[in-house]
Amino acid sequence: MLFRSDVCERLLKSHPDMHEVRLNRGLANLRLGRFGEGWIDYEARKLAGGNFRARTLDLPDWQGEPLTEGKLLIYAEQGIGDQIMFGSCIPQAMRHASCLVECAPELVTLFERSFGPSQIVAETDDATLLTQAIGAGARFKIAAGSLPLHYRSRTEEFPREPYLHADPGRIAAWRERLQSLGDGLKVGISWAGGAASTGGADRSIPLEQWSTVLKMPNCHFISLQYG
């Protein structure tokens, strides 16, 4: 990947409020494995527009210090995939604070099973969330996408073990269902994803164009298409 940091530096020197440039520099550094620099610039997403959902929550921002009293509100941002990705940092946050975690309704059960004893609540409007947070004793807040700033500065800090825990009953049920398909390769497919703001059209392909692939012998194709 071609990355001209000098161009970004010149632009930001003359126009420090070019948040999109700072964000793009951060994304490039993350892709290059420069995590310490990348996550700092990734904070510019809060000002650059895009798919970050700004929240009105009257609590001070958490800076990573241990909390001996009260809870830390980790509020949801971006899509379900991003919430799952940033969720890898929740176990580490739990070592520093008692957490109240907001997530998409579809993830509540999974997060409850994976991040207990944290309190998990479904994504909601700001006023409702703030009421829930204050009622639970939250003293500070942090966006889920800001957690890596504190916990992912080096490659070695990324988890090597699973941090999400599936329902054992559903694992058994799906294993039985897939085995019932018989011999052959089982292939899960998803053909559309993302939103307009995240280049969804470039990440999708009409199912009709899969026709040749779907005719491959000794293969069973399973739809994993969300929605």
Give the chain's mean pLDDT: 92
Could you read off the pLDDT of 150-186 as tens digits, one per residue?
999 999 999 999 999 999 999 999 999 999 999 999 9
User: Which residues are within 8 A (CB) of 184 and not within 5 positions of it... i.e. 6 or more apart?
Assistant: 218, 219, 220
- Strand order in 138-143's β-sheet? 119-122, 98-103, 71-75, 138-143
pLDDT above 60 (res 2):
no
Predicted pLDDT at 93: 96
User: Which residues are within 8 A (CB) of 7 and not within 5 positions of it... i.e. 6 or more apart?
Assistant: none
Phi, psi of 148 (to 5 degrees): -60, -25
Maximum C-alpha span of the chain: 64
Q: Which of 6-20, 27-41, 182-196, 213-227 comes out lowest in average pLDDT?
A: 6-20
What is the C-alpha to C-alpha distance for residues 114 and 173, in angstroms, rounded to an integer? Answer: 20
Could you read off the pLDDT of 27-36 as tens digits, one per residue?
989 999 999 9
Could you read off the pLDDT of 61-101 as tens digits, one per residue?
999 999 999 999 999 999 899 999 999 999 999 999 999 99
Residue 89 structure tokens = 């940092």
What is the C-alpha to C-alpha distance for residues 166 and 180, in angstroms, rounded to an integer? Answer: 21
Predicted pLDDT at 199: 72
- Mean pLDDT of the region 55-64: 95
